[in-house]
Amino acid sequence: MPRYINGHAAEHHKNTSHPISISFSDLSIWCYDCDDYITSRLLKPITTAFYVSKFGEMPPNSNDIEIASEEDTTGSGEGPSNSAGESGPSKSD
């Protein structure tokens, strides 16, 4: 199977027990605990981000997906936005 060509992800799983691996060759997501590929529409933002990282552009038919920039995910300490578009916890004055 392609995920074992270099063995890096399998070795990482063995050393850390991290069960999920994403292949940069075909952008598939593998679960070592389940011994199966993971597919879910909920993973679309993650697979889209990896696609952009690999190809430098949005994938075809991805008009409804937003990718947060690094500036959006660091520095505020208030957490990411949720799926309803509301911001994370706010601090009171």
Distance from C-alpha of 17 to C-alpha of 10, rounded to nearest angstrom: 10
Average the pLDDT over each of 9-13, 24-28, 83-87 and give the range with the smallest value. Answer: 83-87
Q: List the one residue out of 85, 54, 93, 55 whose CA is nearest residue 68.
A: 85
Share of the chain above pLDDT 70, in %: 61
Q: Which residue has the tokens 């992800």?
A: 9
pTM of this structure: 0.58
Reported as a single tens digit per residue, the pLDDT across 24-62 is 888 999 999 999 999 999 999 999 999 999 999 999 977
Domain ranges of the chain: 2-37, 41-72
List Cβ neighbours of 58 (8 Å cut-off, separation of 6 or more).
Answer: 48, 51, 52, 65, 67
Per-residue confidence at 17, pLDDT binned at 50, 70, 90?
Answer: confident
Write down the number of H helices and E strands in the chain.
3, 3
pLDDT reported for residue 69: 65
At residue 11, the pLDDT reads 85
